[in-house]
Amino acid sequence: MFPKATRLLAAATLLSTALLSGVPVQPTVVSAAEPQNSAEDKPAKVKEGTSLFRANCSPCHGLSARGGGRGPDLTSGHWTHGSTDAAIFRTISQGIPGTEMPANGFENSEIWAIIAYLRSLAPPKRVVVSGDPLSGKKIFFGSAACSNCHMVKGSGGLLGPDLSRVAASRSVSYLIDSIRSPDKELSTGMLDPNNHYGLPLVYDTVTVVTASGKRITGVARNEDTFSIQLLTTDQNLQFFLKKDVKDVIHERKSLMPRYSEDALSASQLQDLIAYLETLRGER
């Protein structure tokens, strides 16, 4: 009976934008009276948790919990706000103040089912990162010019995502894909087709063709039926009324350049990944 995608509101269960927030983790004691997952009922709990996760969490965290347009990968093994069952329980039930991860109205047994599901997910293959983070940092801010577009701890460009906490939200394999094949998994902006959240469609590559035929490309910081607000590749904000331009083209490709082995050798990639793996939001 969904009148609209309001379920996606409940689905705004950003388990780990929360996990990324850097909010100090409070010690949590789970009462012995609270139901916890026992070995006997595990299959049933996992099944229930799968269903609950898909219905409520997947729009942000992805159908397989590997991260979505808004929520981090929950299979990475990184749990910024605590990796114990009790800590995850608290994150789901109470949310993380100051982040997009809201408190949720699940019953306790449902939260335990979700935890059972998350625990059932195959742990990621441990990717050995053999590079040198210091060399990687030099590559990031130097030869690869990543910092032209990406910011880390206040230094760098504006066009791409801020990577100050990227290791806490994305797996190594995701980072490698993003560097070698940036169009492989495009950000479609928010998974928010009905704009319930009113959030900007960040990283959606758009080209505006002006009345004089000039093509201006950037990422759309916002857009509606009548206007578009663009952060252009020269990192300036430009606003357009659609009635004044010839065309607005959604490119369906990333503005991130593809770093082939010619541009970034295998060893340089290892160094770069080693540096990115140090970025967990710690101050």
Partner 1 sequence: MRKILFLVLLLTGSAESQSQVTYERLLHADREPQNWLTYSGRYSGWRYSTLNQISTSNASHLLIQWAFQVGDLGQFETTPIVVDGVLYGTGQNDRAFALDARTGRAIWRYQRTLPEKLQPCCGMVNRGFAILKDRLFMATLDAHVIALDTTTGNLVWDVISADHHKAYTFTVAPLAVKNEVIIGTSGGEYGVRGFIDAYDATTGARLWRFDTVPGPGQRGHETWAGDSWKTGGAPAWITGTYDPDLNLIYWPTGNPSPSNYGGGRGGDNLYSNCMLALDADTGKLRWYFQFTPHDVYDYDATQVPILLDADWEGRPRKLLIQANRNGFLYVLDRTDGKFLFAKPFGNVTWARGIDRDGKPILNTSLRVSPEGTRVCPGALGLTNWFSPSYSPETHLLYIATSTECDVFTSSPQTYRAGHDFLGSVYVPDPAERPTGSLKAIDVRTGSEKWSFPYFSSPNGGALSTAGDVVFAGDSDGNFIVLDANTGRHLWHVQLGAAIYSTAIAFEVDGKQYVVIPAGSALFAFALP
Under 8 Å between Cβ of 49 and 116:
yes
Q: Which of 26, 38, 43, 55 binds partner 1 (CB under 8 A)?
A: 55
**Interface with partner 1 includes 250 (CB under 8 A)?**
yes
Distance CA 21, CA 30 (A): 22
Candidates 155, 195, 235, 267: give the one binding partner 1 (CB under 8 A). Answer: 195
In Å, how far are 20, 95, 126, 135, 239 from 101, measured between CA atoms? 10, 5, 27, 35, 31
Q: How far is the CB of 86 from partner 1 (least distance, A)?
A: 24
Looking at 55-63, 115-123, 126-134, 156-164, which segment touches partner 1 (CB under 8 A)?
A: 55-63
Segment contacting partner 1 by CB under 8 A, of 129-137, 189-197, 258-266, 274-282: 189-197
Q: Give the binding range for partner 1 (CB under 8 A) out of 29-37, 114-122, 167-175, 197-205.
A: 197-205
Q: Which range in 48-56, 84-92, 257-265, 269-277 contacts partner 1 by CB under 8 A?
A: 48-56
Question: Is 138 near partner 1 (CB under 8 A)?
Answer: no
For the segment 63-92, give every residue that binds partner 1 (CB under 8 A): 63
- Strands 237-241 and 204-210 turn out to be unpaired
Among 213, 224, 241, 283, binds partner 1 (CB under 8 A): 224
* Burial of 275 (C-beta count, 10 Å sphere; 0-12/13-18/19+): buried
Q: Least distance in Å: CB of 27 to partner 1? A: 29
Under the criterion CB under 8 A, does residue 241 sit at the interface with partner 1?
Answer: no
Interface with partner 1 by CB under 8 A: which range of 6-14, 74-82, 119-127, 140-148? 6-14
Residue among 72 and 189 whose Cβ is closer to partner 1: 189
Amino acid at 85: D
Length of the chain: 283
* Matching residue, tokens 């009345």: 211
**Residue 144 within binding range of partner 1, rule CB under 8 A:** no
Q: Three-state SS across 75-118?
A: CCCCCCCCCCHHHHHHHHHHCCCCCCCCCCCCCHHHHHHHHHHH
Closest CA relative to residue 201, chosen from 170, 244, 181, 231: 231
Residue 268 Cβ vs partner 1, minimum distance, rounded to whole Å: 31
Query: Any contact of residue 178 with partner 1 (CB under 8 A)?
Result: no
| Binder of partner 1 out of 122, 226, 262, 283 (CB under 8 A) | 226
4 belongs to the binding site for partner 1 (CB under 8 A):
yes
Q: Check residue 59 for interaction with partner 1 (CB under 8 A).
A: yes
